[in-house]
Amino acid sequence: QTVRWHIELQPWASPTPSLNYEASRFLKYISTSQISCEHMNLNSLKGYSETTKKPWSVCLDERFSLIHRIRSKECRLYSLGLGNDDNQFELSMANSGCEVHRFDPSIKSAHIQQGRHLWHHRLSIDWRDPNPAIAAHKLHSNTKKLGTVLNEFGHQKIDVLKADVESAEWKILENLILEDVVEQIGQLVFEVHIHWPGFEVSGNDSTVVRYWYSLLRELELKDFRLFHTYKDLSKPQMFLKKEAFNASSCYTLSWVNTRWK
Residue 62 confidence (pLDDT): 95
Residue 136 confidence (pLDDT): 54
**pLDDT exceeds 80 at position 218:** yes
The DSSP element (H or E) to which 133 belongs, if any, is helix 132-135
Question: Taking residues 51-57, what's their average pLDDT?
Answer: 67
Q: How far apart are CA 44 and CA 200, in angstroms?
A: 40
Residue 106 confidence (pLDDT): 84
Least confident of 27-36, 104-113, 123-132: 123-132
Least confident of 63-72, 89-98, 133-142, 181-190: 133-142
Q: How many helices (H) and strands (E) does the chain have?
A: 7, 10
The pTM (predicted TM-score) of the whole model is 0.92
139-192 per-position pLDDT tens digit: 555 889 999 999 999 999 999 999 999 899 999 999 999 999 999 999 999 999
* Domain boundary assignment for the chain: 21-257
- Reported as a pLDDT band with limits 50, 70 and 90, residue 127 is confident
Residue 46 confidence (pLDDT): 54
Query: Which range is most confident: 47-51, 55-59, 128-132, 254-258?
Result: 254-258
Pick the CATH number of 21-257 from 1.25.40, 3.40.50, 1.10.3300, 1.10.287: 3.40.50
How deeply is 29 buried, as exposed, middle or buried, from its count of CB atoms within 10 A (0-12, 13-18, 19+)?
middle
- Cα angle: 220, vertex 34, 213; to 5 degrees: 45
Residue 131 confidence (pLDDT): 64
Residue 108 confidence (pLDDT): 84
**pLDDT exceeds 90 at position 124:** no
Measuring CA to CA, which residue among 191, 181, 180 is closest to residue 254?
191
- Reported as a pLDDT band with limits 50, 70 and 90, residue 138 is low
**pLDDT exceeds 70 at position 129:** yes
Q: How far apart are CA 29 and CA 94, in angstroms?
A: 32
**pLDDT exceeds 70 at position 251:** yes
152-165 per-position pLDDT tens digit: 999 999 999 999 99
Q: How far apart are CA 185 and CA 83, in angstroms?
A: 24
Residue 261 confidence (pLDDT): 74
If you write DSSP's letter for every residue of 35-71 in order, what string do you get?
A: S--S---GGGSTT--S--SS-------TTSHHHHHHH
Question: Taking residues 53-68, what's their average pLDDT?
Answer: 89
Amino acid letter, residue 72: S
How deeply is 178 buried, as exposed, middle or buried, from its count of CB atoms within 10 A (0-12, 13-18, 19+)?
middle
**pLDDT exceeds 80 at position 83:** no
